[in-house]
Amino acid sequence: MQRLWLRWLVLALFLVVVAVAFTSLGRWQLSRLEERRLGNEQVAAQQQAPPVTADQALADEVTDAEQWQRVEVSGVFEDEQLSVPHRRNGEDPGYEVLTPLRLDDGRHLLVSRGFVPLAQGLPVPDTVPAPPPGPVEVAAWLRRNEVGRDALVTPAAGSVRLVNVPAVAATLPYPVVDTGWLAAYEVRPAQDGGLEPVLVPTPEEGNHFSYALQWFAFTGIAVVGAVVLVRGDLRERRAARAAAVGAAPAD
């Protein structure tokens, strides 16, 4: 009997640990879902808000919560350009064209002038669409600096994998505002070269809710399994007692 109770005690402790762990993971997935929904709401609100100036948008390091604000600037595109491969615009694969924009006050911003569709697996052409000459007006989305290992943020052979303004600025002959960058959805006058406006990502909630349900289900399965195991032990013990009583010699 003592061994049986010890077994049940170990099972109960294990069940508590499993239930707490699985329930915590489920609650964590629900918190991630709330964060994703809040982010989607922020993006929607940013799109509906009036455009801001570069001074307002890039005064401090751009955060996730500040992304996708509408920004309007004017200036002249410089000749230096970089392609940004392995991008998606909606469902389309392709690349973006990154070009410094010299503002009227002489400062420079890094601007993705647009997206060029490219069939999956095809390399980015050696020559990317040239910027329009002369003054331009740009309506763009505010973006934060992307981060990654040096090989991904350092330009090489006219291309860069992630847009990190400080890393790109280190290769240019003039200073660049490095708190964030812009992704254009409209350039006036219109550009040549097949450049498409950069689209805001479609809001998604991900799989957090289904993952949460799975963790809660695992908790329930663990509890039910423990109950079945205990009931099986009790049933076997009763059967053993009954067999022992039946086998006992009569007086």
pLDDT of residue 179: 97
Kindly tell me the sign of the dihedral angle through the C-alpha atoms of 27, 28, 31, 32.
Answer: negative
Q: Does 9 fall in a domain?
A: no
Q: Is the peptide bond before 189 cis (omega within 30 degrees of 0)?
A: yes
Asked whether residue 12 is domain-assigned, the answer is: no
- Tell whether 39 is covered by a domain: no
Per-residue model confidence as pLDDT tens digits over 101-128: 999 889 999 999 999 998 877 888 888 8
DSSP H stretches of helix in the chain: 2-48, 54-57, 150-153, 165-169, 208-247
Q: Is residue 13 part of a domain?
A: no
CA Rg value for the chain: 30
Say how many Å lie between the first and final Cα of the chain, rounded: 27
**Could you list the residue range(s) of the whole structural domain that residue 155 is in?**
49-188
Which pLDDT score is estimated for 170? 95
Residues of the chain with pLDDT under 70: 1-5, 8, 203, 205, 232-234, 236-251
Cα(193)–Cα(181) distance, integer angstroms: 22
> Within the chain, how many helices (H) and strands (E) appear?
5, 6
Q: Return the percent helix, strand and coil in the chain, to nearest 5.
A: 40, 25, 35
Reported pTM: 0.71
On whether residue 33 sits in a domain, the answer given is: no
pLDDT, tens digit, 9 for 90 and up, residues 2-24: 566 677 677 778 888 888 888 88
- Position 165 scores a pLDDT of 97
Number of domains composing the chain: 1
240: its two tokens: 């053993």
Q: Is position 56 within any domain? A: yes
Residue 140 lies inside a defined structural domain of this protein? yes
Give phi and psi for 71, each to the nearest 5. Answer: -130, 140
Domain assignment of residue 171, yes or no? yes
Which conformational region is residue 220 in: left (phi greater than 0), alpha (psi within -120 to 50 degrees), or beta? alpha
pLDDT for 55 equals 92
